[in-house]
Amino acid sequence: MKTTTHSDTILIIDFGSQVTQLIARRIREAGVFCEIVPFQLAEDAFARIKPKAVILSGGPASTNDIGSPRAPQIIFESGIPVLGICYGQMALCVQMGGVAEASSHREFGRAFVEVQKDCPLFDGMWTTGQRHQVWMSHGDRVISLPKGFEVYAKSEGSPFAIFGDAARKMYGLMFHPEVVHTPDGARLLQNFVHKVAGIKGDWSMHAYREHAVEAIRSQVGSGKVICALSGGVDSSVAALLIHEAVGDQLTCILVDHGLMRKNEASDVVAMFNEHYNLPLIRVDAADRFIDALEGEVDPEKKRKTIGRLFIEVFEEEAEKLGGADFLAQGTLYPDVIESVSFTGGPSVTIKSHHNVGGLPERMNMKLVEPLRELFKDEVRVLGKELGLPDSFIGRHPFPGPGLAIRCPGGLSREKLEILREADAIYLDEIRKAGLYDAIWQAFAVLLPVQTVGVMGDGRTYEFVCALRAVTSIDGMTADFYPYDMEFLGRAATRIINEVKGINRVVYDVTSKPPGTIEWE
């Protein structure tokens, strides 16, 4: 992952924890920029970033395993502050000369630590003798501390739940401070950042904007840029930021691929024409995309086909414009995290439709991704900084594959139209109920299931429609929105009555933990 360089950056080394990105969120909330890198790339990243502090994440391995992950030794020799979390605590201990082993008293879930001694991590919050709730998730434990380290807190199963060397500014936590189940966890991380590492916490979106504009100008120079614009907050913010940097060197292209929501393409063009004087080309490519996708069942092949066709369209439009040197897109940090495998795990193909790894070699264009260091909520803050109206900033996310992945099973024009109408009614009811802004993302799904039903005096054999609505902040985790039954009844009744082809509606109440894909 290639990113720009910020002063006062914290490097987070990922050992494979499902909640590593939450560490980054807490650090950003403390007003400090940070970057996550897999442990395999940590040494190069350390040299490139020159961080002011390092955080070692949790992970599924045991330090007793042969070949288990380690942090680059240069980090411990550099003299900068280090914080180890869960597995990161074990790695810190072992690499500094201590001993860890498999524990007969594993701790998973809520636990309590008892403070043994004051330290900078506890400043303004914990004192000696107090007990505090934390969230544990470990099967190993430290049994012997490295030379110079001492115990600051213990738990029932971890005599060294918090240890550290104040002189060398190195600390280890057996629990996860980044999760909400550790109530004081965010403050512990803030104390590490501000009290231990001495970082002021003056990173702001205004500063990011200025930094990004200069980075874009440096990358683009006098080249021409085409921007993949969908009308969502990500691509809209990316377009405005690039336009601020290079002006008329930018041309936005909206590909109407026939997989968008009802009237979506026309609405996006109208919004941009009303608010901004950006060059915008609308390409009607619906037949091209749907013909290529018709009958396709495999969700991964759908995504790959859509990604390939997008590239082909952009190539053709660039040629019409006399060539382009760069393709811009609204890639976010979650896209980057979920599109690569940090530890060889299942995250390899979570978001395969994003070109985060680069463009095909045949293209004479390079990617411009000015938002790839930001989480979704940070992009919305940047949008406000750029003056985007609330109608842009608050739009629900709508991924590039669009309705194709919300129509599991074989794709057809008829099924797309059925889904488009049901989705439009669903969103209309959400807006009428005043719930749109309370929900992070809502959409309808046409299931590859048909059921027998009775409508009036006749039998029907039609599709089942699933409704989904989730709340989220960063786009990495989500929980279902708790509708009342009156709303669901009203929305379902309208869909069944008004959309020919659907005779049953269900509500999806699953959540999205880190690393979990959406409907496919």
> What are the pLDDT digits (tens) for 418-438?
999 999 999 999 999 999 999
pLDDT of residue 268: 86
pLDDT of residue 334: 74
Q: How sure is the predictor about 516, in pLDDT bands with cuts at 50, 70 and 90?
A: very low
Q: Is the pLDDT of residue 183 over 80?
A: yes
Of 207 and 148, the structure prediction assigns the larger pLDDT to: 148
Q: Is the pLDDT of residue 308 over 60?
A: yes
pLDDT of residue 101: 78
Among candidate residues 283, 278, 281, the one with its CA nearest the CA of residue 237: 278
The helix or strand, by DSSP H or E, that contains position 34, with its residue range, turns out to be strand 34-38
How many whole angstroms separate alpha carbon 370 and alpha carbon 380?
A: 14
Q: Is the pLDDT of residue 348 over 60?
A: no
The helix or strand, by DSSP H or E, that contains position 406, with its residue range, turns out to be none
- Least-confidence region, from 121-125, 182-186, 264-268: 264-268
- DSSP 3-state helix, strand, coil percentages of the chain (rounded to 5)? 35, 25, 40
Q: What average pLDDT does the structure give for the chain?
A: 87
Residue whose pair of structure tokens reads 């916490």 in the numeric block: 201
Mean pLDDT throughout 490-508?
A: 95
Q: What percent of the chain has pLDDT over 70?
A: 90
Written as six digits, the tokens of 135 are 């969230």
Mean pLDDT throughout 363-382?
A: 88
pLDDT of residue 513: 56
pLDDT tens digits, one per residue of 63-75: 888 888 999 999 9
Name the active-site residue from 35, 107, 178, 369: 178
pLDDT of residue 518: 54
Q: Is the pLDDT of residue 379 over 70?
A: yes
The residues, any chain, with a CB within 8 Å of residue 73's CB and separated by 6 or more, are 95
pLDDT of residue 352: 45
pLDDT tens digits, one per residue of 433-486: 999 999 999 999 999 998 988 777 678 889 999 999 999 876 767 889 999 999
Name the active-site residue from 138, 176, 257, 396: 176
pLDDT of residue 162: 95
Structural contact between residues 316 and 287, judged by C-beta atoms closer than 8 angstroms? no
Mean pLDDT throughout 99-111?
A: 73
Q: How sure is the predictor about 512, in pLDDT bands with cuts at 50, 70 and 90?
A: low
If one counts every other C-beta atom within 10 angstroms of the C-beta of residue 408, the result is 18
Identify whether 252 is a catalytic site residue: no
Q: Is the pLDDT of residue 8 over 60?
A: yes
Written as six digits, the tokens of 478 are 């989500």
The residues, any chain, with a CB within 8 Å of residue 290's CB and separated by 6 or more, are 258, 259, 411, 413, 416
Identify whether 86 is a catalytic site residue: yes
pLDDT of residue 339: 59
Identify whether 176 is a catalytic site residue: yes
How many CA within 13 A on the CB side of residue 51? 27
pLDDT of residue 520: 47
Q: How sure is the predictor about 142, in pLDDT bands with cuts at 50, 70 and 90?
A: confident
Among candidate residues 404, 450, 448, 443, the one with its CA nearest the CA of residue 422: 443
Residue whose pair of structure tokens reads 């030794």 in the numeric block: 73
Q: Is the pLDDT of residue 356 over 50?
A: no
pLDDT of residue 332: 85
Mean pLDDT throughout 490-513?
A: 90
Q: Is the pLDDT of residue 240 over 80?
A: yes
284 DSSP β-pair partners: 256
Name the active-site residue from 86, 93, 252, 407: 86
Mean pLDDT throughout 90-116?
A: 84
How many whole angstroms separate alpha carbon 495 and alpha carbon 493?
A: 6
pLDDT of residue 337: 67
Among candidate residues 494, 501, 353, the one with its CA nearest the CA of residue 416: 501
pLDDT of residue 358: 59
Q: Is the pLDDT of residue 60 over 90?
A: no
pLDDT of residue 110: 85
The residues, any chain, with a CB within 8 Å of residue 346's CB and separated by 6 or more, are 515
The helix or strand, by DSSP H or E, that contains position 260, with its residue range, turns out to be none
The residues, any chain, with a CB within 8 Å of residue 102's CB and separated by 6 or more, are 62, 64, 139, 140
Q: What percent of the chain has pLDDT over 90?
A: 62
